[in-house]
Amino acid sequence: MQAPLVIDNYEASWISRQFAAEYAIQFRELLPLLANLKLPLPLGGTSNHFRTDVLRASGGWDAFNVTEDADLGYRLARDGYSSGVIAPPTWEEAPITLRAWLDQRTRWIKGHMQTWLVLMRDPIRTAREMGLPAFAAMHLMLTSGLIAAFVHGPLALALIAAAILPYDLLTTADFVLALCGYCVSIFAALTACALSNSLSHARAALTMPFYWPLSSIAAYRALFALMFRPHHWTKTEHGVSLRRRYSVPAPPKRHVSASILTARGA
């Protein structure tokens, strides 16, 4: 079971606000949809809950994959298990500087490439073990996510160049298609406002087109790291910003009847 991860320092910086909106899209919209469709989840490891026997039967955590949570989610699907989501959130601190964000995102993309390479080592076997719907969902989430990370930056540069240079680098249809892609991201962040009860995601949505191209910097760094330092784990420093304090209500008291108390006493 996957708990939603919620950023509690989203007001610390522009990066943390964008990160919070991204998490809201991932954990409030995409993962519940996949769970409802009984499709594999790329797990987020801060708050996962397993049946211990199933976790051990699937091989446990891969010590050599730097996103071992996402890897395990797809491995469980290969072994015939399904993952679900629960409502109680786990609070998490987002990076607040571009350098910290780049280091963390570089590791994530590198780990996703590792996971993809393992899954596609024998794609026919993977498709047979997962089933075609799960195999297609894996590519929709994992493969398309990797491709997007590599092309966001070049696409943004191409759009800027086409807008300011006196050359027909892109057609009107190209501009419309790119605009639609950015609008989908903005709309996803806006709908996450309602699901997360946070207007901060609306503020992030307005500048999200400037956030996604940064992933290309992390993607090309990740490709270099995959070739030369595949198992190096770049740690993310925490405790560097103020975090909102959330009060968790106490569980309701359970009424125990006198007859039960008498029976227990007997």
Alpha helices in 88-143 (DSSP H): 98-119, 123-130, 132-138
Which tokens belong to 6? 């919620």
99 pLDDT more than 90: yes
Residues 6+ apart with CB under 8 A from 227: none
pLDDT number for residue 95: 94
State how far the Cα of 196 lies from the Cα of 10, in Å rounded to an integer.
13
pLDDT number for residue 174: 85
- The CA-CA-CA angle for residues 145, 113, 109, to 5°, reads 60
Percent over 70 (pLDDT), the chain: 91
pLDDT number for residue 169: 81
263 pLDDT more than 80: no
pLDDT tens for each residue of 63-81: 899 999 999 999 999 999 9
16 pLDDT more than 60: yes
pLDDT number for residue 123: 96
- Under the banding of pLDDT at 50, 70 and 90, the label for residue 107 is very high
| Structure-model confidence comparison of residues 166 and 250, the more confident one | 166
pLDDT number for residue 140: 95
- Under the banding of pLDDT at 50, 70 and 90, the label for residue 21 is very high
256 pLDDT more than 50: no
- pTM of the predicted model as reported, rounded to 2 decimal places: 0.87
pLDDT number for residue 260: 36
Alpha helices in the chain (DSSP H): 14-25, 31-36, 52-57, 68-78, 98-119, 123-130, 132-138, 144-164, 172-196, 200-206, 208-211, 214-228, 258-265
Average pLDDT, stretch 20-37?
Answer: 93
| Structure-model confidence comparison of residues 47 and 45, the more confident one | 47
pLDDT number for residue 40: 95
pLDDT number for residue 236: 81
Average pLDDT, stretch 90-99?
Answer: 93
- Under the banding of pLDDT at 50, 70 and 90, the label for residue 257 is very low
- Under the banding of pLDDT at 50, 70 and 90, the label for residue 170 is confident
Average pLDDT, stretch 109-129?
Answer: 97
Q: Identify the weakest region by mean pLDDT among 13-22, 80-89, 181-190.
A: 181-190
- Residue 51 — φ and ψ, nearest 5°? -75, 125
Which tokens belong to 125? 């076997």
